[in-house]
Amino acid sequence: MGQLDDIDMRILELLIEDSRQTYDAIGEEVDLSSPAVSNRIDRLRERGLIRRFTVDVDRSLLIQSNATLVELQVRPTETDAVVEELRAIDSVEYLIRTSDARVTLLVHLPAAQLRERVVDVLDEYTLLSYEVRDVVEADWSPQLGATGFEVKCAECEKPIRGQEVTIETDDRTYYLCCPSCESLFLDRYERFSEET
């Protein structure tokens, strides 16, 4: 399953539209039986392409719907640690990290708690700058994009074409494009495991 076919792409699109659709309804759209749809979705989950099924909450209908956009610029050497700290905050709805050591997050907190729950958590790090803005309106519309996509090798990050090589670890399955990448990956994985 190196490259996704049109049916896989359509199944993903249908699940993005409504993750509660039945396999029968999806099957009618892609001309497959319910068990065949189930098998494809299972494969997409096993590959990690589908991480979870979730809901889209209309926060404007909730009493406490304060949404704040926080933009941080940190030292590049501290970006990983800052991102890990921010991921642990349950009020962070989404987090975006860019290549220039900027981190943007959408937080659902009253203004009084924002400093305490977000900015103060980062006291030990050097914040080069940060901006906080109230969100007036937000639209979240996940898309696959106009072009199809291919699954990349966990080692060289090139598209996997043909038969992939799989490696099972304690908590994850990795997909590689060839035996050479498998060998490199295993060497690196073993070194990392020994260091930790």
| pLDDT, averaged across the chain | 84
Domain span holding position 188? 152-196
Q: Are residues 46 and 73 in the same domain?
A: no
| 124: CATH | 3.30.70.100
What's residue 109's pLDDT?
A: 81
User: 177, 167 in Cβ contact below 8 A?
Assistant: no
What's residue 103's pLDDT?
A: 94
Q: Are residues 72 and 51 in the same domain?
A: no
The CA-based dihedral angle spanning residues 20, 23, 28, 30, taken in that order and rounded to the nearest 10 degrees: 100
Burial of 51 (0-12, 13-18, 19+ CB in 10 A): exposed
Q: Are residues 51 and 72 in the same domain?
A: no
Q: What is the pLDDT of residues 119-164, one digit of tens each?
A: 777 878 888 888 888 888 877 777 776 555 677 888 898 888 878 8
Q: Are residues 47 and 72 in the same domain?
A: no
For residue 61, tell me if it sits in a domain: no
Q: Are residues 30 and 78 in the same domain?
A: no
Of 96 and 58, the structure prediction assigns the larger pLDDT to 96
User: 176, 160 in Cβ contact below 8 A?
Assistant: yes
Q: Are residues 172 and 129 in the same domain?
A: no
Of 1 and 151, the structure prediction assigns the larger pLDDT to 151
What's residue 14's pLDDT?
A: 93
Mean pLDDT score, 114-122: 77
Q: Are residues 6 and 50 in the same domain?
A: yes
184: its two tokens: 């490199």
71: confidence class by pLDDT, cuts 50, 70, 90: very high
Terminal CA-CA length for the chain: 32
Mean pLDDT score, 67-75: 89
Q: Are residues 129 and 83 in the same domain?
A: yes
> For the chain, how many structural domains are there in total?
3
| 44: CATH | 1.10.10.10
What's residue 175's pLDDT?
A: 86
Burial of 70 (0-12, 13-18, 19+ CB in 10 A): buried
For residue 83, tell me if it sits in a domain: yes
Q: Are residues 49 and 72 in the same domain?
A: no
| Nearest Cα residue to 92 out of 106, 73, 110, 71 | 106
The rounded distance, in Å, linking the Cα atoms of 139 and 45 is 26
Structure pTM? 0.60
